[in-house]
Amino acid sequence: ETGVTQTPRHLVMGMTNKKSLKCEQHLGHNAMYWYKQSAKKPLELMFVYNFKEQTENNSVPSRFSPECPNSSHLFLHLHTLQPEDSALYLCASSQDGAGGLGEQYFGPGTRLTVT
Amino acid sequence: RKEVEQDPGPFNVPEGATVAFNCTYSNSASQSFFWYRQDCRKEPKLLMSVYSSGNEDGRFTAQLNRASQYISLLIRDSKLSDSATYLCVVNKPDDYKLSFGAGTTVTVRA
């Protein structure tokens, strides 16, 4: 099993709800990521935190709001989502030094359905 | 052009067969290459890194062709448990972000 946990594993929410996804890594890594995976599409990188600083925001709509309180925890706050946001949301972590390693460890994901 | 392109398959092979597939990447400066495996409704997991000289891990062999900008994965003596989607992954120098292919689906049948 990986050292990255995510909760909840499944979430159904209405378009007016507010919810949060949680990710925790127990690997001592210094970088954490949020990805979106839709059916038959490549993983889409949403946010990157390196040493707790957000270093990437791939034009993600503001209805998705990340939070990284420390190097082990990562949240994704959701509000006023659209049905097309239904997808598998994956958290990952890695230990990155100069040049980057590129080996990322994924959590089991949260399967989100927006109704 | 997509950063990473893969044949989606599916590749349907009998147990014991050999199956191979490629992945092309667009950025000639890419330095690190990986194959990840993703089982149905599960998270991706690192299968193997791909080294310049090619590398083998049991029944799995990965090759890198920088001139043509592709990597390959070969699975020998396929097992039912090899059924999965194989994701091609690359990153760039000094960049901890990964670019993922959409995956190649392999189904091994008894």
User: What would the pLDDT profile of B59-76 be if each residue is shown by its tens digit?
Assistant: 999 999 999 999 999 999
Torsion of CA A34, A38, A40, A46, to 10 degrees: -30
Q: How confident is the model at residue A59 (pLDDT cuts 50, 70, 90)?
A: confident
**Residue of chain B with shortest Cα separation from A109:** B43
Reported as a single tens digit per residue, the pLDDT across A36-49 is: 999 878 899 999 88
Task: Tally Cβ neighbours within 10 Å of residue A90.
Answer: 25
Q: What's residue B70's pLDDT?
A: 95
Select from B34, B44, B103 the Cβ nearest to the Cβ of A102. Answer: B34
Q: What's residue A100's pLDDT?
A: 47
Q: How confident is the model at residue A99 (pLDDT cuts 50, 70, 90)?
A: very low
A108–B44 CB contact, under 8 Å: no
Task: Give the closest residue to A102 by CA, choosing from B74, B44, B31.
Answer: B31
A90–B43 CB contact, under 8 Å: yes
Size of interface A-B (CB pairs under 8 A): 59
Q: What's residue A1's pLDDT?
A: 52
Q: Which helix (H) or strand (E) holds A1?
A: none
A43–B43 CB contact, under 8 Å: no
Q: What's residue B101's pLDDT?
A: 94
Sort out which chain B residues have CB atoms less than 8 A from A104's CB and list them: 46, 98
Rounded to the nearest angstrom, the minimum Cα separation between A92 and chain B is 10
Q: How confident is the model at residue B52 (pLDDT cuts 50, 70, 90)?
A: confident
Q: How confident is the model at residue B96 (pLDDT cuts 50, 70, 90)?
A: low
Give the separation between CA B70 and CA B50, rounded to whole angstroms: 11
Mean of the per-residue pLDDT values of chain A: 88
